Amino acid sequence: MSDQSYVRTEMLGEKPPPSSQVGVVKWVMENLFSSIPNAIMTIVSVWVVYYILSGILPWAFQSSWNATSLHGCRAYIAETYGEGVEGACWSVINERWKQLLFGFYPKELYWRPVVTLALMFVAISPVLFTSVPRKVMLFSVIYPFLAFWLLWGGSIWLPIVAFLGLVIAYLAIVYLPALVGSLGATIGAGVLPILFWIVIAGPIIDGLNGIAPIGIEGVDSDQMGGFMISIIIGVSGIALSLPIGILLALGRQSPLFIVKTICVGFIEFIRGVPLITLLFVASVLLNYFLPPGTNFDLILRVIIMVTFFAAAYMAEVIRGGLAALPKGQYEAADALGLDYWKATRLIIMPQALKISIPNIVSNFIGLFKDTTLVSIIGLLDPMGLARAIPADQNWNGIVWEIYVFIALLFWIFTFSMSRYSMYLERKLATGH
């Protein structure tokens, strides 16, 4: 045996790592003080955070909750925290939060928007989470009509008959292909319900109201306001703009010249116009075009305009997703004998939408926040109220508190959307 040969006779056990490799010390060294510039930036950042919080926190917490006017607030703060202390006057939120949430909706009927919101979460759950039983989807289909009835009240026959239009569209999709082919059925599913709503629905509703006047107390659009209106417009816009955007994106790629031209024209026109212009068109101009005497609800008009606007952007986002798909996916679907709609639904769209999730959600968030623009055409959404409330003599001069409250409300919704989109991306990752 030479001197260089070596045989290990016993294996070594594990030793604990040095303290620089574990726990808090390691994390701090790696993330905050890994180099001199890093250490300097850490110190500067800590100072900036301290500076901001030292301004905000005393203001937020040395505050008044129960005063009845801005004067009362100031007096209370001066008395409790000493002269010259600037404190928040949360009393205004305490007094007006119901108004910021519901506008001028009748107080005794607040339960209706609350129930509507709760049911909304039930209705969107099967869309958001695959673990929810598929049968809940049926409720999601009925929900928009139920929500309309709960919020606006009135006769129960209006939403029911309107829903029948959807049933007609469904029947057309299922039974017409055998008679007139799939293209005819698609057109039929679009045209028949519209004919039904315009021509037949009115007399039927009147008739049914005559026979059995069932309904709940009606609430007018101008009584609605606050965050409720943001949610109504935002959620309707989101729910409608995605399917319309998908159709526009597909139409833009269509080899059929007329379909393509209409889609490109629509997208480019709507994208070329500021949303605020469309909202003015909704509030003022539309009345000139509609036959005299038609009372076309302002919120409904705004929803339509917001939907158009969002759909045009959505179409471009989805077109990006479609463009990112390799041509081979279309070819493989074709080669297996799938027709256009099946290939689109089963192969193309699931992948294109998955690629576009971050952009789609970011558009949704933008749309939701853009709903605050409706305050400019006179709807009392939270931003409208933020200008209306200080006009009250008691709260004259109040600014920050209301905006902080509104920001918080919006942030809760948009942050949940953003977290959900991250969850969805993780869930759909299939390792390619």
Partner 1 sequence: MVTEIEREIDRSKMQVSDEVAIQITNMNKWYGAFHVLKDINLTVNRGERIVVCGPSGSGKSTLIRCINRLEVHQEGSIIVDGTELSSDLKNIDKIRSEVGMCFQHFNLFPHLTILENCTLAPIWVRNVPKKEAEETAMHFLEKVKIPEQADKYPGQLSGGQQQRVAIARSLCMKPRIMLFDEPTSALDPEMISEVLDTMIELAEEGMTMIVVTHEMGFARKVANRVIFMDAGQIVEENEPEQFFTNPQSERTQLFLSQILGH
For partner 1, give the closer residue by CB, 47 or 423.
423
Q: Taking the complex as a whole, how short is the minimal distance between the CB of residue 351 and partner 1, in angstroms? A: 5
Chain positions contacting partner 1, by CB under 8 A: 326, 328-329, 331-339, 342, 346-347, 350-351, 354, 428, 430-432
Compute the distance between CA of residue 315 and CA of residue 306 in angstroms, rounded to an integer.
14
Q: How far is CA 308 from CA 241, 247, 312, in A?
A: 7, 12, 6
CB-based contact 162:143 (threshold 8 Å): no
**Cβ 7 to partner 1 shortest distance, Å:** 38
User: How near is the Cβ of 357 to partner 1 at its closest, in Å?
Assistant: 12
351 or 394: whose CB is closer to partner 1?
351
Q: Where do runs of H (alpha helix) occur along 62-135?
A: 70-81, 91-102, 111-128
Shortest CB 167 distance to partner 1, Å? 25
Strand-pair partners of 89: 64
Three-state secondary structure call for residue 4: coil
Would you say 257 or 288 has its CB closer to partner 1?
257
Shortest distance, position 249 Cβ to partner 1, whole Å: 18
For the bound state, the minimum distance from the C-beta of residue 179 to partner 1, rounded and expressed in Å, comes to: 16
Shortest Å, Cβ 343 to partner 1:
9
Q: Residue 27: CB partners within 8 Å, gap ≥ 6?
A: none
Q: Would you say 182 or 221 has its CB closer to partner 1?
A: 182
In the complex, least distance from residue 359 CB atom to partner 1, rounded to whole angstroms: 18
Shortest approach of partner 1 to residue 106 CB, angstroms?
A: 48
* 275 contacts 306 by C-beta, under 8 angstroms: yes
Distance CA 90, CA 100 (A): 13
Smaller CB distance to partner 1: residue 75 or 336? 336
222, 170, 175: which is closest to 193 by C-alpha?
A: 170
Is the Cβ of residue 98 or residue 342 nearer to partner 1 in the bound state?
Answer: 342
Helix residue ranges per DSSP H, 129-256: 136-152, 157-195, 201-211, 226-252
Is residue 403 within 8 Å of residue 100, measured between CB atoms? Answer: no
Q: For partner 1, which is the closer residue by CB, 223 or 351?
A: 351
Helix or strand holding residue 422 (H, E): helix 400-428
Write the single-letter amino acid at 113. Answer: P
342/387 with CB nearer partner 1: 342
Which CB, 106 or 181, lies closer to partner 1? 181
Helices 226-252 + 257-271 axis angle, to 10:
140
Which own/partner contact pairs does 58-64 have at CB distance under 8 Å and 24+ positions apart? 58/85, 58/87, 59/86, 59/87, 59/88, 60/88, 62/87, 62/88, 63/87, 63/88, 63/89, 63/90, 64/88, 64/89, 64/90, 64/91
Q: Exposed, middle or buried: residue 249 (CB in 10 Å: 0-12, 13-18, 19+)?
A: buried
Nearer to partner 1, 73 or 249 (CB): 249
Distance CA 33, CA 45 (A): 12
Q: CB 199: neighbour CB atoms within 10 A?
A: 9
**Nearest approach, Cβ of 431 to partner 1 (angstroms)?**
4
Q: For residue 372, give the nearest of 409, 319, 412 by alpha carbon.
A: 409
